[in-house]
Structure 1
Amino acid sequence: MRLYAFNKLEEKLTQLGYPQMKESGFKVIKVDLTQEEISGHISYRQDGVYRTINNQAQRGYMYMYSYDVAKHNQYPKFHIMKCKTIVDQMSRGAFNTKYIWSNSNVVDVQERTTRDVYHDVRLSLCGNCAKEAVGTIERTTEEFYQMLLANAALTIDVSLDKRPYNSGEISKIFREMMNYTCNACSLKITDRMDRVYMHMHHKDHNPLNNYPENLESLCYLCHIHTDALHKAKLNKPRIKQSLDYFVNKYKEELVKIGNPYIKAYLTQL
């Protein structure tokens, strides 16, 4: 990373005012969308429905909790944007109080007529969202959840008083400067929706040390193999699962470019 790039990073962060981080790590959340929207916490983007709390933007989706499952012989679809379906519902006054915001792989759905609840349901993506989305899309709530895990799983645990900056914003700026390319294996992420698989790595594990010689842009597979501390995280089932998901999605390209870890990892799948 060249010095001018670091200066640009520092300038960007100064402009952002280094918003203080109040929470860290990935948490499964399910909340009433309308109440969150009234509170000013919800924003609609092309890659998800974002809930912002304490300057931290959490990416998620929305779905209809109470639904005529028996009548339609299917569960409701989940939405990642304000697509044609949502716009139509809003125009008819059929949107407010109907939706839940979540980032979970499974949800609860209530049968509208009987009030019976279906638990741990995996939903499919709305057809209009699929048409209107740009780049690679996650077509089920399970895939969406795995994508979120891939983005959050490799954060090194640091006490909150040592992490005063918005680390997500820092990472985004840095990875953009590196053109979402892995410094170790040269994998380049071109689909905007898959940028979560390219990580910013602090060599000394200190999130405050953003000097150029301490930063690396690494794909998920290279990141997990940087040292023993990262490799130990493979003992956690959710991290192993999310890494398997990434490898399966990019294995052909990883093999083609000669990623140093891909052949050995494929024998473990």
Structure 2
Amino acid sequence: MEEIEAIVKFDKLRNYLESIGIHVAEASADGYHAVKPGEVTLQAIKDGTYTFDEDGIYLNGSNGVRQKVYLYKRDYYITGYENSKPRMHITKCNTLEDFINNKKFDHYRHANTEEVPVIDLGDGCREVIVKQLPLCGFCRSKLLEEYRKSQKDFFQKESSIKDSVEFVRLLKETLGIVDGQSQDVDADIFGYVKDWEQISRRYRELKKYTCERCGVQITTPWDRQFMQVHHRNGIKTDNREENLECLCIRCHANVDDVHRGNFSKGDNLFRLNDFNEKYPLKS
């Protein structure tokens, strides 16, 4: 969300929680986390919670976490209909665009897992687990057309995806995750890994809340939110000590172009400006 009033309130709440010793987790962009399916609304799209980028659909957390997801119909006739499953949308195809433009976009969920819960309209609206959601034909056609225009490999790879199982496989492959290296993590919609708060706090304490790049040290308890933990290889489930780096929000925001983009808007930008005002660069 980028409404200024909401950002201010959230930031004040975060500061208050930190001041009484309750840590609010920080996170940065990218890396695979299995997010819980959630409802997608027109308002959330308008607010920027969801964005339709060139390489796919993204769920954007207020702390900079971006998870690549697909969209699917929450309600579907399954029982009594042979091979009936909701279609998986991985780009802003004609179907999604028409629904959004006509303001009739509802009953959709986001997901990034192989199987998802679906309300079976053919069985008294009972929720069932459905695996291997097939790719929407309009999405495939759009991706193939984009590949013909640009010759970018990722368009070709994504157009060859058959279902949600292959979507997850390609997503992990793109992020450099191999079998046995990382397991799916039960996380909320912002991608927070289980126990990440404790891991982050322990590592920052180990480094005495000192930035490993610029050397700035945070001694004021309620300003510890400005010291964050970065994953060097970009894989958020790889929490080995050698893969972690304690960074002030200013250095974290300048790790690479992805981070610069994530810290250029919303709550991240608000906190970055707050930090720069309190801890200006020494000339």
Task: Tell me the TM-score normalised to structure 2 length.
Answer: 0.46
